[in-house]
Amino acid sequence: MAAMLVRHLSFSWFVGVLRLTIKYLDLLVRWLQQPQIILLKEGTDTSQGKAQVVSNINACTAVADAVRTTLGPRGMDKLIHDEKGSTTISNDGATIMKLLDIVHPAAKILVDIAKSQDSEVGDGTTTVVLLAGEFLKEAKPFIEDGVHPQNLIRSYRTASFLAINKIKETAVSIEGKSLEEKKSLLAKCAATTLSSKLIGGEKEFFASMVVDAVLAIGNDDRLNLIGIKKVPGGNMRDSFLVNGVAFKKTFSYAGFEQQPKKFLNSKILLLNIELELKSEKENAEIRLSDPLQYQSIVDAEWNIIYDKLDKCVKSGAKIVLSRLAIGDLATQVLGSCEVFEERQVGNERFNIFNGCPSGQTATIVLRGGADQFIDEAERSLHDAIMIVRRALKNSTIVPGGGAIDMELSRYLRLHARTIAGKSQLFINSYAKALEVIPRQLCDNAGFDPTDVLNKLRQKHASGEGANFGVEINTGGIADSFANFVWEPAVVKINAINAATEAACLILSVDETVKNPKSESAQGEAAANAMAGRGGPAFRGRGGRGMRRR
């Protein structure tokens, strides 16, 4: 009886379980039949939220760390060699950023602002990257503590607006000075730019050359009117400025050694026709019925060329330039188609047209040892040329060496005290970030940044030290204005503007979505992985500790 009961119970238990299972299976099938919302393609990688903002900040800080050591007159240079095997030695922020081949999507923004600073004002490319990196670094603890990025962005924008107004207010105008005075003022600005470069040792020499070149082209906006010719070899002091055009060319024709190599105040004839027999021979088809007529054809050809050459001679020109060929005959008849001056520069013969009154153009012939050296010298001169042009156009300058940055920092801190609420903290952080410029100048020169910065803060707070910046030779502080460490105001205005915009842009991104289809190159896949983790932003350098300080 008892055994029967047990069997009955276990049977009904079995039935119960079966029913339950069927019920759940039914539910599962129904659930599976429901339409699902598929938003993104399979394999799409998204990372979002606070962690994403922080990881982008980390990547940007790593980029800023990479160029940090190049700032200022005691900054170091970077040697970069690419997969093609070419080597570049540079101190220029924009050049380094371009060559670093950054793949991190957020960090790429820093490359863009360096490039835009380079094309807008020509100098301050390291500064802009450093500032953006520092703004973000200051923002990081707030983001981690749960501050909404938009609050930070608003305060940063206010701070940047205030800072730029302050620069405009304090900048000193060089308008209305005599040409000689202006020249020496502009040379000071150029020398400040050049002092951080490889050719910094000869900054006065090159600064006056750059000023002369810029003044030679007058008000013309086209930068390519200042040509730079690089001739390897020799000393950098062998470089010279041509108030006109210079190009590589040697003439060789019968008797050219005897011809003069130098002409004074001679006319120059510019042609676009051949001074050779060749063309008539090739451009015509002539049918002759009598072989005797042939001579007359040949004579006609000669007459054409003699006619052309007679006209050249009558014009009184001593120098003839033509886009097309000048044959041997032409060089004999004219007596001379030499140029103003044909001079040996290194291994090359150069035609030099100095002092062209109508054409406003200038050429700098650069000399120096290695190719990399001349290349970097050319980039440095480009910076200096841009600076002189900017200073000439906007004609307001600010003290360099971190002086203006310290002054802005002091001003913003004072302003922050008048604000109630969280914004006070954010503007204070912005002010602190501005100090990165003097701090890095000290760091790169081997001085104690804390010590120098304390002195600077104290001096600026006293109310009469607004022009005090880092004294790069002794490690103390000095009046940058009196020491002629000047920068055009537009360099700072543009740098602060661009750096703030970049920082705000990066802070406002809270999600990165990577479409799997666009993942063609291997490098981009790596970038994708890094974007999620906030790893180093460089291709093929994962794991390397970038932080230095």
Q: How far is the CB of 146 from ligand ADP (least distance, A)?
A: 34
Between residue 465 and residue 504, which ones bind Mg ion under the rule CB under 5 A? Answer: none
DSSP per-residue codes, 309-365 = HHHHHHTTEEEEEESS-B-HHHHHHSS----SEEEEETTEEEEEEE--SSS--EEEE
In the complex, least distance from residue 203 CB atom to ligand ADP, rounded to whole angstroms = 9
200 and 194 Cβ atoms separated by less than 8 Å: yes
Of the candidate spans 192-200, 226-234, 262-270, 392-400, the one that interacts with Mg ion by CB under 5 A turns out to be 192-200
Closest CA to 132 of 161, 151, 104, 112: 112
The piece of 122-130, 254-262, 318-326, 367-375 that touches Mg ion (CB under 5 A) is 122-130
**Which string of x and - marks every residue 198-237 that binds ligand ADP (by CB under 6 A)?**
----------------------------------------
List phi, psi (to 5°) of 60.
Answer: -65, -35
Tell me how far, at minimum, the Cβ of 368 lies from ligand ADP, in Å.
19
Closest by CA position to 80, among listed 71, 68, 67: 67
Q: Lay out the site mask for Mg ion across 193-222 (x = CB under 5 A, - = otherwise).
A: x-----------------------------
Eight-class DSSP state of 122: S
Report the phi/psi class of residue 502: left, alpha or beta, with left for phi > 0 and alpha for psi in -120 to 50: alpha
- Under rule CB under 6 A, residue 401 binds ligand ADP: yes
Question: Is the separation of the CB atoms in 273 and 350 below 8 Å?
Answer: no
Starting at the earlier edge strand, list the strands of the sheet with 341-345.
244-248, 348-354, 341-345
Residue 214 vs 246, nearer CB to ligand ADP: 214
Is residue 65 a contact point for Mg ion (CB under 5 A)? no
Among 55, 195, 361, 396, binds ligand ADP (CB under 6 A): 195
| Least distance between ligand ADP and beta carbon 468 (Å) | 11
Distance from C-alpha of 61 to C-alpha of 479, rounded to nearest angstrom: 31
Residue 466 sits in the site that holds ligand ADP (CB under 6 A):
no
**How far apart (Å, rounded) are the C-alpha atoms in residues 335 and 382?**
41
Among residues 56, 60, 75, 447, which is the contact residue for ligand ADP, using CB under 6 A? 75
Helix (H, G, I), strand (E, B) or coil at 205: helix
Find the binding residues for ligand ADP in span 477-506 (CB under 6 A): 485, 487
Q: What is the nearest approach in angstroms of ligand ADP to the Cβ of residue 124?
A: 4
Total residues at interface with ligand ADP (CB under 6 A): 23
Q: Which is nearer to ligand ADP, 105 or 438 (CB)?
A: 438
* Contact residue for ligand ADP among 47, 58, 196, 409 (CB under 6 A): 196
Does residue 123 bind Mg ion (CB under 5 A)? yes
* CB within 8 Å of 228: residues ≥ 6 apart: 363, 364, 366, 378, 381, 382
Task: Tell whether residue 124 is a contact of ligand ADP (CB under 6 A).
Answer: yes
The nearer residue to Mg ion, 123 or 276, going by C-beta atoms, is: 123
Smallest distance, ligand ADP to C-beta of residue 73, A: 5
Residues with Cβ within 8 Å of 408's Cβ and at least 6 positions away in sequence, in order, are 163, 166, 167, 431, 434, 496
User: Reduced to 3 states, what is the DSSP secondary structure of residue 38?
Assistant: coil
Q: By C-beta, is 72 or 149 nearer to Mg ion?
A: 72
Pairing outcome for strands 362-368 and 226-232: parallel
Q: Is residue 430 classed as helix, strand or coil in its secondary structure?
A: helix
Minimum CB separation from ligand ADP for residue 435, in Å? Answer: 12
Whether the CB-CB separation of 456 and 470 falls below 8 Å is answered with yes
400 interacts with, out of ligand ADP, Mg ion, none, CB within 5 to 8 A per kind: ligand ADP
Check residue 435 for interaction with ligand ADP (CB under 6 A): no
Report the alpha-carbon distance of residue 413 to residue 11 in Å, rounded. 83
Which is nearer to Mg ion, 55 or 193 (by Cβ)? 193
Give the 3-state secondary structure of residue 548.
Answer: coil
User: Closer CB to Mg ion, residue 193 or residue 243?
Assistant: 193
Give me the residues that bind ligand ADP (CB under 6 A), please. 70-73, 75, 91, 93, 123-127, 192, 195-196, 400-401, 437, 441, 470, 472, 485, 487
What is the contact surface with Mg ion in residues (CB under 5 A)? Answer: 123, 193
